[in-house]
């Protein structure tokens, strides 16, 4: 027991001696290197989200106050969605990326992801000829992200099959209580629903997607206009 105590004392003394031998200048260099490594790791995590590189450094305060409050509630576990509406070029994607970048900092052990409607569909369709990965595995991946951003919902004209796949993803996220951030140029649920049906999409499925996007009751989505 005494040997262990003596050994610990020796180690403590050696550590103290090493620290005492470090000059203020050297300590500043060490601190700077640690800060740089932490910044690099944070940068890697933001890049992994998949957002456009031009928006990777967008500060959180670019997002409107209501959007920032939504993000804070999402970090605390709220399942409500956020819908950012606005015309083309209004800054919707920038707002979404600001929120995602800050979310990565607040949820270091959680996976967040930026994608377009087309990205999600292409990911699912890529499994059709993949013997190692099933469609349900791809859907499960999109359903599993802690916070998922689907950018420019409605920009692409979806087929009936695409609508079904998107509903499956959104329904899985809804049932597991995971919030989704949407951006869209369509200014109301009705406009978005009409757009989703333009390519012959199934009306009930389009309406079901709109309900999953905008929610209702205690799950009513936060809507922010740019």
Domains of the chain from N-terminus onward: 2-41 (no CATH), 49-225 (3.40.50.300)
User: Cβ(71)–Cβ(99) under 8 Å?
Assistant: yes
CB count within 10 Å of CB 118 equals 14
Question: Residue 43, CB half-sphere, CA atoms under 13 Å: how many?
Answer: 8
Helix axis angle, 160-175 relative to 117-125, nearest 10°? Answer: 100
Place of tokens 């994608």: 115
Burial class (CB in 10 A: 0-12, 13-18, 19+), 42: middle
- Give the integer Cα–Cα distance in Å for 211 and 167: 10
Mean pLDDT of 208-222: 93
User: Cβ(222)–Cβ(83) under 8 Å?
Assistant: yes
Task: Read off the tokens for 182.
Answer: 């949407």
Mean pLDDT of 53-57: 89
Q: Is the confidence at residue 65, as pLDDT, over 80? A: yes
Give the pLDDT band of residue 29 (cuts 50, 70, 90): confident
| DSSP conformation class of 217 | G
Q: Is the confidence at residue 2, as pLDDT, over 60? A: no
Phi-psi region of 87 (alpha: psi -120 to 50; beta: other; left: phi over 0): beta
- Give the integer Cα–Cα distance in Å for 140 and 134: 10
Beta bridge partners of 112: 147
Q: How much is the mean pLDDT over the chain?
A: 85
CA distances from 164 to 160, 167, 198 (A): 6, 5, 15
Specify the pLDDT at position 36.
67
Residue of higher predicted confidence among 72 and 138: 72
User: Cβ(147)–Cβ(107) under 8 Å?
Assistant: yes
């Amino acid at each position: 027991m005494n040997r262990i105590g003596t050994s610990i004392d020796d180690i403590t003394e050696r550590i103290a001696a090493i620290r005492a031998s470090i000059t203020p200048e050297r300590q500043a260099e060490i601190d700077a290197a640690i800060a740089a490594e932490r910044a690099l790791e944070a940068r890697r995590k933001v890049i992994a989200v998949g957002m456009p590189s031009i928006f990777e450094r967008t500060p959180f305060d670019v997002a409107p106050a209501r959007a920032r409050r939504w993000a804070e509630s999402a970090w605390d576990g709220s399942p409500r969605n956020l819908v950012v509406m606005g015309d083309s070029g209004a800054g919707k994607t920038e707002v979404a990326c600001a929120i995602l970048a800050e979310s990565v900092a607040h949820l270091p052990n959680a996976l967040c992801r930026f994608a377009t409607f087309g990205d999600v569909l292409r990911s699912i369709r890529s499994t059709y000829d993949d013997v190692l990965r099933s469609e349900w595995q791809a859907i499960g991946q999109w359903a599993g992200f802690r916070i998922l951003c689907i950018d420019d919902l409605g920009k692409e004209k979806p087929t009936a099959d695409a609508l079904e796949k998107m509903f499956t993803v959104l329904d899985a996220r809804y049932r597991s209580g995971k919030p989704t951030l949407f951006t869209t140029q369509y200014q109301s649920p009705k406009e978005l629903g009409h757009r989703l049906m333009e390519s012959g999409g199934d009306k009930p499925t389009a309406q079901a997607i709109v309900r999953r996007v905008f929610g209702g009751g205690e799950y009513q989505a936060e809507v922010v206009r740019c």
